[in-house]
Amino acid sequence: MSFVFQAAPQAAVPVTGRAELFPVRRIYCVGRNYAEHAREMGHSGREAPFFFMKPADAVLPVAAGA
- Quick: pLDDT tens for 5-63: 998 888 888 899 999 999 999 999 988 767 777 778 787 767 778 899 999 888 887 76
From the list 48, 65, 54, the residue with the least C-alpha distance to 25 is 54
Q: Distance of alpha carbon 32 from its chain centroid, rounded?
A: 16
In-domain check, residue 50: yes
Q: What is the pLDDT of residue 63?
A: 66
Domain hosting residue 43, numbered range: 26-56
Task: Tell me whether residue 44 is in a domain.
Answer: yes
Alpha-carbon separation of residue 57 from 2, 33, 38, 54 (angstroms)? 21, 24, 27, 8
Question: Within a domain: residue 62?
Answer: no
Please state the domain count of the chain: 1
Distance CA 38, CA 41 (A): 5
